[in-house]
Amino acid sequence: MDIKHYLDATYLKTAAQANLSEKENNEVVKNAIQEAIDCQFKLIMIRPEQVAFAKEMIKKSKSKVTIGTVIDFPKGIGSLANKLKEANDAIVNGADDLDFVINYSAFKNGAIDEVKQQVIACTKLGLDHHRIVKWIIEVAALDHHQIIQLTVLIKNTIIAHFSEKDFEKVFVKSSTGFYKTPDDIPNGATPETIKLMLENSFPLPVKAAGGVKTYDEAVAMIQLGVKRIGTSAAKAIVMGQISKSDY
């Protein structure tokens, strides 16, 4: 199976998180963008401050690789105004996909209307600018019942406020890959959590992110029904290697 067009090649570490200087980390980002171009991946997923640079590289290479970035990352606790500003700046800089971290803490605390309003306003901004929108629910922070509830909340909100033609452009995404779990419990996509999302997201597509490190794992996710896979191990996956990446 040719899986490269399912892969959102990802590098989201800050210099501090990578234990690198800013210059060194920028070089890692540059290499990740070039790798996505060379391997013809679907998309390169990077932090907002790198979007304009990626746009310039991709334009010069005449590549079809698209650019994704994360909004209100990684905790999703910013205000609606903050989410909208970050997203608008990313659009101006050339991002094609906007991966919003939903305020899963507010959801868990019962602030359902607040979460709905963020989904409506941020999705509208993205769709109005012909962008792909993804909502990261952070499965590792939720129990199975909450995964179902939050997936259904997003689905029902989109169905109620947007056109059927837009449904394929709004994803439910599993994870940031940055959530800290105890005892090395998986903090990204697992077959179990992805099945729950797929069973409750239709007609919205699902993106599996975090924890997919081998070709067989990627194929298994595709066979379950995901439309995108976010991974920092994209090249290793397509080459049939096992990645030691932590995302």
pLDDT at 211: 87
Answer yes or no: 99 catalytic: yes
Distance CA 69, CA 94 (A): 10
Taking only the tens place, the pLDDT of each residue in 61-99 is 999 999 999 999 999 999 999 999 999 999 999 999 999
Domain range annotation of the chain: 4-238
Which residue is catalytic, options 42, 83, 173, 213? 173
CATH number assigned to the domain covering 4-238: 3.20.20.70
Distance CA 219, CA 89 (A): 34
Average pLDDT over residues 212-232: 95
Query: Which residue in 53, 51, 89 sits closest to 67, CA to CA?
Result: 51
Q: Which two tokens stand for residue 111?
A: 């602030």
Which residue is catalytic, options 99, 155, 213, 235? 99
Q: Name the average pLDDT for the chain.
A: 95
**Do the beta carbons of residue 97 and residue 43 sit within 8 Å?**
yes
Answer yes or no: 173 catalytic: yes
Q: SS in 3 state form for 143-176?
A: CHHHHHHHHHHHHHHHHHHCCHHHHHHEEEECCC
**Do the beta carbons of residue 102 and residue 70 sit within 8 Å?**
no
Which residue is catalytic, options 134, 155, 207, 213? 207
pLDDT at 175: 97
**Do the beta carbons of residue 7 and residue 41 sit within 8 Å?**
yes
169 φ, ψ (degrees, to nearest 5): -95, 0
Answer yes or no: 207 catalytic: yes
Average pLDDT over residues 145-170: 98
pLDDT at 140 over 70: yes
List C-alpha distances in Å: 180 to 124, 175, 185, 193. 31, 11, 9, 17
**Do the beta carbons of residue 168 and residue 134 sit within 8 Å?**
no
pLDDT at 244: 64
Which range is least confidently modeled, 47-51, 186-190, 202-206, 225-229? Answer: 186-190
DSSP secondary structure of 17-38: HHT--HHHHHHHHHHHHHHHHH
> What single-letter DSSP state applies at residue 169?
G
Query: Hey, CA dihedral for 223, 243, 32, 48, is it positive or negative?
Result: positive
pLDDT at 187: 80
Measured CA angle at 235 (ends 66, 87), to 5 deg? 30
